[in-house]
Amino acid sequence: MLVDQYHIVTCAHVVDLQSGRTGPVASRREAPAALARVEFPFGLHRGAFHARTVLWLPVQDNGDGDIAVLRLEHPRRGIEAAPLAFPNGMRGHRFSAHGFPEGERIAREATGILRGASGEFGNWVQLDADGMTGWAIGPGFSGAPVYDHEAEAVIGIVALRDGHRSGHLLPNRYLSEHWPRLLACDGSLAEPTSTELRADSEPNRLEFGSSPPVLESERTPSHNLTAWSDYWNPAGAGSGFVGRVEDMAALEEDLTGSSAVVQVCSIGGFGGIGKTALATAFGENHSADFDGRVFFDFQSYSLNAQPISAVQALRRILPVVLNQDPKRIAMYSAEELLTLWHSATANRRILMIWDNVSSSDQIEPLILRGRGCATIYTTRQALLLEGGSKTIRLDVLKTEDAEALFLQVAGSDHDRSRVKELVLRDLCVPVLINSHAQGVVSGKWSLADIVSDLPPVSESRRKHAARLQASLFERLFASYRRLDPLQRVAFRIFGSYPGRALSIGTLAGVLKCAVEDAEELILQLVDAGLAQREDDRTTRTPRHLRTYFAHDLIRAFGANQALQECWIHGRARDDRALVWSGLREYYSHRLASYQSSDYDWFFLEAEAIREVALGEEDIATAEFANLAAARFFASGRANVSRELFGHAAKIFWNAEDDFNYAAALRATWESPHVGGEEYARRVGRRFMNVKSATLAATGFDPDIWIRGDIFLLKFKPDEAEDAFRTALEACELMDDAEGSIAARLGLADSETVEASRRLTYKFNDDFAGPLSLLFAAERLYRGALRSARIINDKAGEAAALAGLGNTAIYITTGGVLWPILERARGIEMSQSSGDLVEWPNLYHERALERPIGGNADTALDLKSAKRHFEDALKLFRARRDYVGIADIYIGIGNMAIAQNSPDLEEAEKAYSTALATFEELGDGFGVARSSLGLGDVEFLKAHHADSHLRRYIRHYAKAIRDFDELHLGEWSARVRRFLAATLRPLDG
């Protein structure tokens, strides 16, 4: 189905068969590497054209999926793309489809009636062919566009037949869920815009149960998706604005004047100066000059939450401007969201006001510089944008404008001299004037009382120059001091809350009071000028979901008070800690009892829940993060889910809670769009090579893989062996060949770690024990290697080769320990370490006893280690497994040191390469091991200069610190012991 000038939507199994691959497509997890050949039998173009796969969703075991999107290398002109429709109902409609039945060289037409939904998940639509004559849906029709005669458009593609003259349709609505760009295709063949990005070189792959795939990285052509709806909800839009005639004129000239060339303007100044009021007043005054408007607050200056990103902003904006369900928008990736944004705004004159921006990254992807578009952003700092922007910097109001602002809010029936005195004492700052005017409006405080509470003008001017924020806070205290104790508590909760707007229900949950009582408290804050009702454009908002907000300066004042006061007598913690603890308890209760009717609540509180889940580093926060992550995952917010599971895993690791760490880490990997190498780093990497359902189907603990690797890291080889034997039993029960290979590799690693542990801690032990363990590891690695090559398991093959290389070094030299200690022995090594030099003699004695003969093809020595490392490196590079690549470089470094005449230059180069890679990956364990290697190099150079010995100590000390930070006490203890053994003969 050709949907635009470049793209074709078809079935994955069609592409698979065309490439020559046979067998069940359900087992295919990657798109064919070769370009697909495409022909257009009804067009003027003859011959085949090449196309690459840009989206790949293979057939699943339940028959679902089977989607491929191809991109032609060159656009096809003169061919009409399919007119598309997305009907909600199609039962009983007539359809027709053209295909190439078996044995036919020309296209044949199948016609019939569309029936109801089919398939396990109701994603298909049944196609019934006419009578017993004519062509039925059969082989050769897969991927063909299905034309609905009532809709007069193509409604999807043929997916499969069922053997009874019937078939099944994958409707456009289902296809667009996995490739949202389809929504922007209207059947035209317009040229791509000049701003199209270069397409990705690799296809996107999606497995079922995950969210929609990342689009190829090119901008959607300019087709409008739906009628536009403004995202325009600034607080008091256009109200509370007076004066600033010159500033408004500058905006109008730059953005709407006949000679306007500037499309982006920034409004700068400190918080509360009136930046937002000027921007929104412009938007209200000139709404007729634009086809649409967007106002969004990035909340960059909140003390309790992280600034909002461009992607997070789009998750809130797009449901409104596109009139789409927020649940659906929440499932899209960052690239898809940006694609939809630029599609929705194409060929429209859009006014964008981005409020409280602190970084150009927040708005650069969103800025539209098309004809008639305009962008205003408010900020407190200078930002550099690509393409430039005009800056307007605001100062405080003129005195007469400040008076006019007060009278606009509080009414004109006031003593003008007192009004002037108030605005002067308020420094002519709009946010202060508004707050105090609202207090007067409430009737609870008089203008004279408020004026008397404010510092005199002369003092305020002096303080204003010296310390601006303290001066502003001092004036807000005039309103705060008049609150009763419980109202002050509510205000401090309001200031400490991490979201933009606090709901009545959340305030009630933290205070453990009735919703009615919480509403009364928040209304008191409104009367005091410290809060405002958020206009959510609905009139039937349930009471517990009604939200209130305040200027970020007022919120910052509340947060500051929370840090200084405590609302529970006798408690040492500040209010903010108590508020977040209360929020965690309240959110935990709501999430644990979550029902589908709670979606509006969750959507409202989602960002605050995320902030609370990331806010602390204790076990209670980790448990809450797990709970919250599960809800985000169920709601389609895979990126947040992964982030929270990862935060929980980090806390559990630091607390040495291996059981919960493994569970959280596995949940992190099972979130959509997560690759094993990206998040596994070190622990549980083999888990990614195993069928996900294997352990669950057999009743075994699925975290057993991860805990096995944790035990290896912590030098607990016996526990690791038990874990991997359990995993092996499960995999063999389920005929999971890849899983069995991974388990055997884990057992081999366990033997190697146990041998290393004995060599490190039992220098006087009989060497027969460690050597036997290494021979056992060799057998396991070789068995895993044979099995991996039989089933083409490249990950298992690479790991087995790396294991053989490392084992070869240990078997032939006793590990890198032996040459290092031999060097130390030449400087008068202590007896406790010197015993290890007997290893080479023992190795030669035992070599004849090995189960594998000593011929050149099978013997493990340094030559074979090099060969294994080279082969493993090729495989790791092909898989882009950078952790594996860096591990190999450590092995190469060890091999260079282990030679009779150590090649220190080669070793240093290899360790340095590994160190740089691990640092880029953020793999602390790899960094520490690379540092050890560099330390070994410096130790072997120590007889040349004392500086090498100092570098040796420095590298080892860094490794010890890194291991301690990772809570790997066994590793740091091992390094300390070795450091002491080598330095002792040197007398300090």
- Whether 464 and 524 have beta carbons less than 8 Å apart is answered as no
Angle at 308 between CA 673 and CA 340, to 5 degrees: 55
In sequence order, the 6+-apart residues with CB closer than 8 A to the CB of 239 are 408
Residue 118 has pLDDT above 80, yes or no: no
Nearest alpha carbon to residue 804 among 756, 742, 846, 866: 866
**Which range, of 292-301, 439-448, 636-645, averages the lowest pLDDT?**
636-645
The pLDDT mean for the chain works out to 75
Q: Which helix (H) or strand (E) holds 435?
A: helix 430-441
Q: How far apart are CA 839 and CA 843, in angstroms?
A: 6
Q: Quick one: average pLDDT of 466-494?
A: 80
pLDDT per position as a tens digit, 661-710: 766 666 665 543 333 333 334 444 444 444 444 444 455 566 676 778 77
CA gyration radius, the chain: 34
- Whether 69 and 54 have beta carbons less than 8 Å apart is answered as yes
**More confident position, 121 or 938:** 938
- Output DSSP code: residue 615: S
Task: Kindly give the pairing relationship between strand 145-148 and strand 153-161.
Answer: antiparallel
Q: Which helix (H) or strand (E) holds 166?
A: strand 166-171
Angle at 917 between CA 744 and CA 814, to 5 degrees: 50
AA identity, residue 121: F
- Whether 215 and 341 have beta carbons less than 8 Å apart is answered as no
Q: Quick one: average pLDDT of 389-399?
A: 86
In sequence order, the 6+-apart residues with CB closer than 8 A to the CB of 459 are none
Q: How far apart are CA 136 and CA 129, in angstroms?
A: 5
Nearest alpha carbon to residue 558 among 510, 487, 454, 610: 487
Whole-model pTM: value is 0.53
**Which range, of 320-334, 456-470, 481-495, 854-868, averages the lowest pLDDT?**
456-470
Q: Quick one: average pLDDT of 83-103?
A: 81
Q: How far apart are CA 696 and CA 704, in angstroms?
A: 11
Return phi, psi of residue 494, to 5°. -55, -45
pLDDT per position as a tens digit, 271-325: 888 888 899 999 888 888 888 999 998 888 876 667 888 988 998 899 888 888 7
AA identity, residue 267: I
Residue 95 has pLDDT above 80, yes or no: yes
**Which range, of 264-278, 464-478, 630-644, averages the lowest pLDDT?**
464-478
Q: How confident is the model at residue 210 (pLDDT cuts 50, 70, 90)?
A: very low
Residue 824 has pLDDT above 70, yes or no: no
Q: How confident is the model at residue 754 (pLDDT cuts 50, 70, 90)?
A: confident
Q: Which pLDDT does position 465 carry in this prediction? A: 39
Task: Kindly give the pairing relationship between strand 166-171 and strand 153-161.
Answer: antiparallel
- Whether 433 and 402 have beta carbons less than 8 Å apart is answered as yes
Nearest alpha carbon to residue 362 among 295, 294, 314: 314
Q: How confident is the model at residue 469 (pLDDT cuts 50, 70, 90)?
A: low
Q: Which helix (H) or strand (E) holds 668?
A: helix 658-669
Q: How confident is the model at residue 588 (pLDDT cuts 50, 70, 90)?
A: very high
Q: Which pLDDT does position 239 carry in this prediction? A: 52
Q: Quick one: average pLDDT of 110-120?
A: 76
- Please list, residue by residue across 696-707, b when 16 or more beta carbons sit within 10 angstroms of its beta carbon and e when fewer do: eebebbbbbbbb
pLDDT per position as a tens digit, 593-609: 888 778 789 888 988 99
Give helix then strand counts, H and E, for the chain. Answer: 39, 19
**Which two three-digit tokens encode residue 2?**
């050709």
DSSP assignment of 682-732 equals TTTGGGGGS-TTHHHHHT--TTHHHHHHHHHHTT-HHHHHHHHHHHHHHHH
514 conformational bin, left if phi > 0, alpha if psi -120 to 50, beta if neither: beta
Report CA-CA distances (Å) from 818 to 166, 271, 682, 814. Answer: 73, 65, 26, 6
Residue 930 has pLDDT above 70, yes or no: yes
Q: How far apart are CA 521 and CA 499, in angstroms?
A: 19
Residue 864 has pLDDT above 80, yes or no: yes
Q: How far apart are CA 16 and CA 36, in angstroms?
A: 9
**Which range, of 326-340, 346-360, 620-634, averages the lowest pLDDT?**
326-340
Helix (H, G, I), strand (E, B) or coil at 110: strand
DSSP assignment of 53-74 equals EEEEEPPPTTS---EEEEEESS
**Which two three-digit tokens encode residue 483?**
């609150």
**Which two three-digit tokens encode residue 383?**
């930002």
Nearest alpha carbon to residue 351 among 256, 210, 416: 256
Residue 44 has pLDDT above 60, yes or no: no
Q: How far apart are CA 76 and CA 93, in angstroms?
A: 31
Q: Quick one: average pLDDT of 909-935?
A: 87
Q: How far apart are CA 367 and CA 358, in angstroms?
A: 15
Sheet holding 264-268, edge to edge: 292-297, 350-355, 374-379, 264-268, 390-393
Q: How far apart are CA 848 and CA 858, in angstroms?
A: 13
**Which two three-digit tokens encode residue 905?**
């230059």
> From start to end of 545-643, where are the E strands?
547-549
Q: Quick one: average pLDDT of 868-873?
A: 92
Nearest alpha carbon to residue 429 among 477, 481, 464, 467: 464
Q: How confident is the model at residue 985 (pLDDT cuts 50, 70, 90)?
A: low
**Which range, of 123-137, 341-355, 766-780, averages the lowest pLDDT?**
123-137
Residue 391 has pLDDT above 90, yes or no: no
- Whether 761 and 832 have beta carbons less than 8 Å apart is answered as no
pLDDT per position as a tens digit, 216-251: 333 333 334 456 888 987 765 445 678 888 888 888
